[in-house]
Structure 1
Amino acid sequence: MIELVALDMAGTTIDEHGDVYRALEDSVVEAGAQVSAENLQAWMGADKTEAIAALLELGGVRADAALVERTFGRFREILAGFYAANPPVPLDGVEEALRSLKASGIKVALTTGFSRDVADPILATLGWEVGGGGLLDAVVTSDEVPRGRPAPHMIHRAMERTGVMDVSAVIAAGDTVNDLQAAANAGVMGVGVLTGKLDADALGQCPNFAILDGVKDLPTLVAQSRWSSLSRPR
């Protein structure tokens, strides 16, 4: 029996028009790094401070703590500008899917590589409330745990906040390799969605229970009786 669905934000539940990619690239390029699209994709879904440090090093720049902090500040400024000009919106069918899951007694959490000060304004713009009958039961940001994805900490923190104890009763869905690796590391059921930059072949290289067109298809998947017998990823 599924008790909790933990979902990534950008590219999984929210269409933010690819602006995270652009803001990451612009901020590290401003700091003197040159990075490839493959390097950017490899760090999508991860904690943004960790991603910036890695991308600076990959781009030939020594990533000392002061530079990482400055670059992260520029990332937030650039991203805020993009979002002000073109606000994020829910992906197709996501709100309906989340309401369906909650109507079935399943708790819904978001986990994100954003820090809290980036995530909260997005949620406020969308009108997605947490607790008290809102659309969400919990939101966990990467600055609230020791390590971001692919570490399992955000998923486990979501379980803690929603009172779920059994990892076999949890689905974690996302659109990146790091999302699925985090699910595997957490011991929960990983589901890939095709609403991000990666196709089914790329996501299928990671441990997963299913690859879906989008979160909109999760209620149907959860309703299938075969979920009750699953406890390990393929």
Structure 2
Amino acid sequence: MAGTTVADGGLVEQAFAAAAQRVGAEPDAVPGMLDYVRATMGESKISVFRHLFGAEAKAQAANTAFEEAYGELVDGGRIAPIPGAREAVEELRAQGRTVVLTTGFARTTQDAILAALGWQDLVELTLCPADAGGRGRPYPDMVLAAFLRTGAVDGVQQIAVAGDTSYDMLSGVRSGAGIVAGVLTGAHDKRQLETHGATHVLGSVAELPGLLAGADR
């Protein structure tokens, strides 16, 4: 969601810096940690914290602090939809497609974002890592969970995955999706997206309905 359908203006990094401070990370270590956070955008946040903080208790504490900090920023009106994102989802649904929004955030944060944008009823299904076994991206679990839960298509090759990170691309490729579209409104650039398996690179998710309509012809 963040970077693909939601413009958060760097709130992930701000929330991480706040979380690191709250759990007592050394100030000199935070810039290096932020580099890792940027490189792994799209991954389940608890997985990121396990890598950075090691001990499970500290990783869980950092994850909780991150979710609280991000939630505070969301509640402060600091997020907005990517221009044309809502319209793109509505057009996809008008084309008869089933749309699922996935995230590396926890459910509480995902729900806060949806509420802040008024998107609670925008799509048929929303998924976070815990809804699909807990591993999150770059594993294909959320994509395959969407496939199984919606029953919208006959085979995985009919799935289209769109995202702004390398891990979005990897999860799409690993799921067997026929279209894996990178968008340039978020964390990673065209080279990173293509290197990790993007079949298409779009300026934004607003271009996705046109891409899929063209693929149907």
* TM-score, length of structure 2 as denominator length: 0.90
Which letter does structure 2 place at the counterpart of 1:223?
Answer: A
The alpha carbon displacement at 1:27 in A equals 1.8
Q: 2:210: which partner in 1?
A: 220
**More deviation in 93-102 or 35-44?**
35-44
- The reply to whether residue 150 of structure 1 matches residue 138 of structure 2 is yes
CA distance in 1 between partners of 2:173 and 2:2 (Å): 20
CA contact (8 A) 2:127 2:142 kept: yes
Deviations 1:9-60 (A, max 9, x none): 000001111101221233235432522543122221111111111123xxxx
> Secondary structure of 2:185's match?
coil
CA distance in 2 between partners of 1:12 and 1:179 (Å): 10
CA contact (8 A) 2:49 2:60 kept: no
Residues matched between the structures, number: 209
- The reply to whether residue 15 of structure 1 matches residue 3 of structure 2 is no
Q: Normalized per residue, which structure has more helix?
A: 2
Q: 1:80: which partner in 2?
A: 71
CA distance in 1 between partners of 2:38 and 2:173 (Å): 19
The alpha carbon displacement at 1:197 in A equals 2.6
CA contact (8 A) 1:13 1:215 kept: yes
Which letter does structure 2 place at the counterpart of 1:18?
Answer: G
Q: Identical aligned pairs, as a percentage?
A: 33
Give RMSD over aligned pairs.
1.7
Q: 1:93: which partner in 2?
A: 84
CA contact (8 A) 1:47 1:143 kept: no
Which letter does structure 2 place at the counterpart of 1:120?
Answer: D
CA distance in 1 between partners of 2:132 and 2:24 (Å): 27
* TM-score, length of structure 1 as denominator length: 0.84
Mapping of residues 145-224 of structure 1, within 5 Å: 145-146=132-133, 147-164=135-152, 165-188=154-177, 189-224=179-214
Mapping of residues 116-127 of structure 1, within 5 Å: 116-127=107-118
Query: Relative contact order: is structure 1 or structure 2 higher (C-alpha 8 Å, sep ≥ 6)?
Result: 1
CA distance in 2 between partners of 1:183 and 1:211 (Å): 14
Tell me which stretches of 4 or more aligned residues in structure 1 moved more than 2 Å: 28-31, 35-38, 84-87
CA distance in 2 between partners of 1:39 and 1:210 (Å): 26
Gapped runs of 5+ residues in structure 1?
1-8, 57-62, 230-234
CA distance in 1 between partners of 2:17 and 2:212 (Å): 37
CA distance in 1 between partners of 2:140 and 2:103 (Å): 12
- The reply to whether residue 31 of structure 1 matches residue 24 of structure 2 is yes
